[in-house]
Amino acid sequence: LRGPGGREDPHAWPLLVYLLTCCIYPLASSCAHTFSTMSTRARHICYFFDYAALSMYSLGSALAYSAYIFPAEWVNSTFHRCYVPIAVFNTAISTSLSCYSRFLEVERPRFSKASRMLAFVYPYLFDSIPLFYRFYLCAVKSCTEAAILVHYKHTVLAFLTCFIFASHLPERLAPGHFDYIGHSHQVFHVCGIISTHFQMEAIMMDMAERHNRPLPPSLLPSSLQTLGSMGICVAVSLAVIGLCSMSLRFIPEP
């Protein structure tokens, strides 16, 4: 809010919302790990909020990408106009599918894990379509954009985060030796946070560059559009969490 133009600058709202989601998802994860030991029911509810926060982070990334990193030739295209509404829809699906996956853990653990991964990998891949296109352009034209190198670091770490989560390395190679230090879930969180750090740096570099070639006022995201999208996401996520919490009595005990 203290950046160029201050709080009246609509160009800053997507960054503000993105930064808020960057704070919310590690906080939700920390709370889930802290309080999930209280009871089986508490564990499920804590992770419902964790998954919803990750979905919100996905939407925050999409809002920032839409405002700052879209290729110039894609700006105001049909895909650009549909990008955020689709991201809102993906967020609702992501929260619903990831929360539902907890109901399958006992009877179908592999399908539960696959559903949970799909719930977060798909929104990430969709959000990254304009970024992947910029990677392609840079590979073809040998561009020298400083932000692209930072985006590369973020993307590599994001895929590494997904791989570690799915593979359960290194503890699957030496069961019992990484229960306290070096467990894959610890490495998963560290890689995820470092990936977010690089993503944040790259977005702010793109934002600064976009300020040098400002968009027409009609193409700037309004605070209503930005906050409205996030408000819909929060409302849907809370509704899904409430519904799933009431349905916990149907989950078979492990």
Please tell me the predicted confidence (pLDDT) of residue 223: 73
- Contact of 42 with 49, CB cutoff 8 Å: no
Amino acid at 223: S
CA atoms within 13 A on the CB side of 250: 9
Binding site annotation covers 11? Answer: no
Distant-in-sequence contacts of 201-205, Cβ < 8 A, 24+ apart: 201/150, 202/69, 202/147, 202/148, 202/150, 202/151, 202/154, 203/15, 203/18, 203/64, 203/65, 203/68, 203/69, 204/15, 205/146, 205/147, 205/150
CB-based burial, 141-178: b 16+ in 10 Å, e otherwise = eeeeeebbebbebbbebbebbbebbeebeebeeeeeeb
Please tell me the predicted confidence (pLDDT) of residue 143: 79
Please tell me the predicted confidence (pLDDT) of residue 1: 60
- What sign has the CA pseudo-torsion 230, 46, 179, 251? negative
Residues of the chain with pLDDT under 50: none
Please tell me the predicted confidence (pLDDT) of residue 140: 87
- Contact of 221 with 14, CB cutoff 8 Å: yes
Binding site annotation covers 151? Answer: no
Binding site annotation covers 189? Answer: yes
Distance CA 90, CA 82 (A): 12
Please tell me the predicted confidence (pLDDT) of residue 220: 66
Contacts of 141 (CB under 8 A, 6+ apart): none
Please tell me the predicted confidence (pLDDT) of residue 2: 63
Please tell me the predicted confidence (pLDDT) of residue 139: 87
